[in-house]
Structure 1
Amino acid sequence: MAINPFEAFACPLDGSALQLNGRSWQCEAGHSFDIARQGYVHLLPVQNKRSKDPGDNKEMVSARQRFLNAGFYQPIAEALSSAVFHNNDRETTLACLDAGCGEGYYMHYLAEKAPDTTDLSLVGLDISKWAVLAAAKQYKGPAWVVGSNANLPVLPEALDRVLCLFGFPVYPEFARVLRSGGEAVLVEAGPDHLRELREIIYPELKAPKQPSNAAPDGFTTVETNVIRYSLTLPNKNAIADLLAMTPHLYRARAEGLARAEELDSLTVTVEANLKRLKKN
C-alpha cells in the first residue's frame, strides 16, 4: 500500500482546477492558496464562512483527539475500514475524502488498514481550522484541507469514496465529486447512542427521529450496518472529553453538566448506523 498525493483540487472561488506551484495551489485565473508550514491548505473563502472561526474550537478538538486516540471508538473505525475496502481485490487505486475529518483519527486508521494491493489518495477536510491543524500535525500522509461540505474544493468525479462520520452530509456535493459507481459511506448516531449519558444531563430525552430508509437523490443504498457495544469510561477525564466533543456540552443546562462532573466512571451504549450509498 502506498499513499499518493491527491491533486484533483478545485478553486473554491471559481471551481477551476488548481495546480501545485511550489508551496501554493493556483488556478488559471490567478487565485492562489498557500500550503501552511504544518502541511495543510486553507480552501474556505471568507465569504463562505458563517462565523469568524467556524467549526470545533481548540478545546473540542483536543478532547476528541484524546478520546479517539484512547481507542474508545475503534469498533466504529473497524466497521468503516471494512465498508471502504469491501472491494479491495478489484480496486488497486482509491481516492477517498473524509468530509468533516476532525483531527484525522478515522483517516489515519484507514491508511493503517489499507490492503497492500491498494494505492490510496487521502483527503481530510473540515471547516474547523483547529481540527485540520491538529490532523496535519499528527498524520503526514493525507492531504489536509480547511473547507466546507457545502462547497467541496474538489473537481467533479475525482473520488471513489466520500466519508461523513457524525457530520453534515451534503448529498448533491458528494454526488458531484464521486465517480460513477463511487460510494458515500456515512456513520450517524443511532437512537440509543450515549443514552446513559444523555439521561444524566437532560431532564428528559426527546423521542428519537425516525431514520429515513430512502436513499438520497442520485444514490442507491447498498449496505446498512449497526455498530452497537457497551463502553466503560473509566474516569472523570474520559467522561469530560466525551462531553466536550459532542454538542451535548452546549445543549445541556448547568445542573445537568454538574451531575456529569460528579461521576467517577460511566458505562454508556455506543450505537452508530453505517450506510454505504452508491452513486447511480
Structure 2
Amino acid sequence: MSITPFQALACPLDGDPLQFDGGGWRCAAGHAFDIAKQGYVNLLPVQQKRSGDPGDSKVMVAARQRFLDAGHYQPVADAVSETVLSGSSSRAPLSCLDAGCGEGYYLRRLAAAAPATRPLSLIGLDISKWAVLAAAKQDARRTPQARWVVGGNASLPVQSGTLDRLMCLFGFPVHGEFARVLKPGGKLLQVEAGPGHLRELREIIYPVLKPERASHVDKLEGFVHQDTQDIRYSLELDGAETIADLLAMTPHFYRASPEGRERAAALEALKVTVDVRITTWMRD
C-alpha cells in the first residue's frame, strides 16, 4: 500500500498554489500558513468564518469517533471505499478529498481497503478545527497518510482540476466548488440520509416527524449521473453511552427538545435503522 498526503493546495486568500517550505505552506504573494504541532494546517481565513468556532463541537467529534470506531457504520464505509476505488486500475496515484471529513474515519477505511498496487493521495478537510485535530492525532500514531486541513466547502483551498475523487458524506455540498477541483472524468460521491435513517431514534426524540423531502436529483450542473446505491440495515445498540454517542454526533441532538433528549437518555437498548444513499457523479 502506498498512501501519501495530497500536495496541490491553494492559498485561501488569493487562490494561488501553495508551496511547502518545511514548516508550513506559502504562496507567491507571501501568505504563509504554519503546520500545527499535531500535523494539520488551518486554511480557513477569519473572513470565511460564520462564527468563532464553526462546525462540529469537541463533544460531537468525540461522540462520533467512539461510535464509528465501534464499527456501526462500517458497511457504509466499505461501500464508499469500493466506489472510490472502482475504475482506477492504473498505478498513478489516485487523489481523493473527503470534504467534511470529521475525525477521518472514512479516509482511514479507504486507505485500509486500497490494494497494494493502488497508490492514493489523500486530503481530509473540515470546517471544525476539533474534527481535523482528532483526525491528525490519529494519523500521527502511524505513518502520516493524509493531508489534514481546516477549511470550508464554499471555498476549497485546493488547486483547480487536481482531484480524481471527492467524497461528501452527510455534509454540505457545494457543487460548483466540487466541479472546479475535480479533473474531467473525476467522480463525486455524495452520501445522504435516506427516509428511514435513524427513524426509531427520531420517533423517540420528536413528538411528530416531518415529512421527508425528496432528495433524488436527476441533473447536476457540471456532472453526469453514474450510479445510485442504497445501503440499509439494522443496528442493535446496547448501553446508554452508545445511544448517547449516536444522538450527540447528529444534528438531532440540538434540534430535539429537552424532553426528547431526556427520553433518549433513559434508553438502555435501541434497535435503529441505518438508511443511506450513495450517489456517484462524473465530472464532465
- Superposed pair shares fold, TM > 0.5: yes
Q: Which whole-Å CA distance do the structure 2 matches of 1:200 and 1:150 have between them? A: 34
Distance 1:91 1:220, change over 3 A: farther
Match status 1:164 vs 2:198? no
After TM superposition, the structure 1 = structure 2 runs for residues 18-97 of structure 1, keeping only pairs within 5 Å, are 18-90=18-90, 92-97=92-97
Q: Which whole-Å CA distance do the structure 2 matches of 1:115 and 1:175 have between them? A: 27
Q: Which whole-Å CA distance do the structure 2 matches of 1:33 and 1:7 have between them? A: 14
Residue identity in the other structure for 1:3: I
2:136 matched to which residue of 1? 136
1:158-197 Cα shifts (integer Å, max 9, x gaps): 1000100000010000000000000100110000000000
Report how far residue 120 of structure 1 moved. Answer: 0.6
SS of aligned partner of 2:187: strand
Q: Which whole-Å CA distance do the structure 2 matches of 1:150 and 1:142 have between them? A: 21
1:257 matched to which residue of 2? 261
Contact kept? 2:90, 2:118, Cα under 8 Å: no
After TM superposition, the structure 1 = structure 2 runs for residues 1-280 of structure 1, keeping only pairs within 5 Å, are 1-90=1-90, 92-139=92-139, 140-280=144-284
Q: Which whole-Å CA distance do the structure 1 matches of 2:174 and 2:91 have between them? A: 26
Q: Which whole-Å CA distance do the structure 2 matches of 1:20 and 1:159 have between them? A: 19
Residue identity in the other structure for 1:205: L
1:230-271 Cα shifts (integer Å, max 9, x gaps): 011111011000000000000000111111111101000100
Q: Which whole-Å CA distance do the structure 1 matches of 2:74 and 2:5 have between them? A: 26
Runs of 5+ in structure 1 lacking a partner? none
Q: Which whole-Å CA distance do the structure 2 matches of 1:52 and 1:28 have between them? A: 28
1:3-44 Cα shifts (integer Å, max 9, x gaps): 123110000000000000011100000000000111000000
Contact kept? 1:97, 1:125, Cα under 8 Å: yes
Q: Which whole-Å CA distance do the structure 2 matches of 1:40 and 1:211 have between them? A: 34
SS of aligned partner of 1:13: coil
Distance 1:5 1:259, change over 3 A: closer
Q: Which whole-Å CA distance do the structure 2 matches of 1:234 and 1:5 have between them? A: 37
Q: Which whole-Å CA distance do the structure 2 matches of 1:156 and 1:266 have between them? A: 45
Runs of 5+ in structure 2 lacking a partner? none
Q: Which whole-Å CA distance do the structure 2 matches of 1:73 and 1:214 have between them? A: 27
Contact kept? 1:166, 1:189, Cα under 8 Å: yes
SS of aligned partner of 1:78: helix
RMSD: 0.8
1:112-131 Cα shifts (integer Å, max 9, x gaps): 11122111100000000000
Residue identity in the other structure for 1:69: D
Q: Which whole-Å CA distance do the structure 2 matches of 1:240 and 1:234 have between them? A: 11
1:95-139 Cα shifts (integer Å, max 9, x gaps): 000000000000000011112211110000000000000000001
Q: Which whole-Å CA distance do the structure 2 matches of 1:65 and 1:41 have between them? A: 21
1:37-87 Cα shifts (integer Å, max 9, x gaps): 110000000010000000011100000000000000000001001110111
Contact kept? 1:92, 1:117, Cα under 8 Å: no
TM-score with structure 2 length normalisation? 0.97
Give 4+ residue runs of structure 1 displaced > 3 Å after superposition: none
Paired residues, number? 280
Contact kept? 1:215, 1:277, Cα under 8 Å: no
Residue identity in the other structure for 1:176: R
Q: Which whole-Å CA distance do the structure 2 matches of 1:170 and 1:255 have between them? A: 35
SS of aligned partner of 1:191: coil
Q: Which whole-Å CA distance do the structure 2 matches of 1:233 and 1:226 have between them? A: 22
Q: Which whole-Å CA distance do the structure 2 matches of 1:211 and 1:98 have between them? A: 21
Q: Which whole-Å CA distance do the structure 1 matches of 2:215 and 2:61 have between them? A: 28
Percent identity over the alignment is 60
Report how far residue 91 of structure 1 moved. Answer: 5.6
TM-score with structure 1 length normalisation? 0.98
